[in-house]
Amino acid sequence: MGRLSNFLCCYNTAMDNKNLYLSEIFSAIQGEGPLVGVRQIFVRLSGCDIRCAWCDTPDSLIRTKKCDIEIEVGSRKFKKVNNPINTSKLVNYLSKLSPEIHHSISFTGGEPLLQDKALLEIAPAVKEKFHLPLYLETGGHRDDKLAKVIHLIDYVSMDFKLPTSARTASFWDKHKRFLAIALESKKLKKLWVKIVVTDDTSASELLKAVNLVKSFKSDIDIFIQPVSPINGIKPPTELSLLSLHSKLLKSYAHIRVLPQVHRLIGQK
């Protein structure tokens, strides 16, 4: 127990600085949510405080000594560089990926909000240099951290964690506070919610999530995302998915079903 405590202490201390611990940086086509199909530079931060059963980026779950940086836009040729990355180095790496052809820059993970202090330092410099919108992809359970950085963010993709599909703890209250904070932002261009569903997803749990979003009396889009098969976890059958969608639409109109399009075209 002592060694675990020491690790967590060091981990949290390392995260609380002005440099980012990254997993990778690369250029790709966004495959989820309302911006599907746009070109983005992905800045994948490392470290996550939950372990979803269907996580498709396991290399980003823990902090590592090195990260992968794409050296030419869309080439999938990477070089290893040391973590953490400061502002000037990040700007330099992004500059080499033809930012002018991209719609936005995505901060994803892992859980990027674990590094809120570094984002506060780095995000303004990235915006000033490239004049591109900043996109945050997050588990939606770190409402305390979101409150600190939301003024810098243009798009938020919130991943609503259902216990029966993610097989994690319940985050209902945290998700509710997260949505409230995001909706209070006057600078945010768009917020949406993604809910991954599996063949084990509880229909009542899914309806509870939809009703929670609906309670804000807004037009937040909800994207039901059938899981991409991983670790023996399977998506709902065609008939199950159609049945779920029908039930949800009776409660809330702003619901779409969208798989991971980037997986369909063979991208990261």
User: In the chain, what are the domains?
Assistant: 2-193 (3.20.20)
What pLDDT, in 10s, does the model give residues 12-36?
A: 444 448 999 999 999 999 999 999 9
Q: Provide the whole-model pTM.
A: 0.92
pLDDT value for 2: 37
What pLDDT, in 10s, does the model give residues 83-99?
A: 999 999 999 999 999 99
Res 8 pLDDT > 60: no
25 neighbors 97 (Cβ within 8 angstroms): yes
Residue (of 62, 69, 193, 208) closest to 138 by Cα position: 193
**pLDDT band per the 50, 70, 90 thresholds, residue 218:** confident
- The mean of the pLDDT values for the chain is 92
DSSP 153-216: -SEEEEE---HHHH-S---HHHHHHHHHHHHH-SS--EEEEEEEE-TT--HHHHHHHHHHHHTT
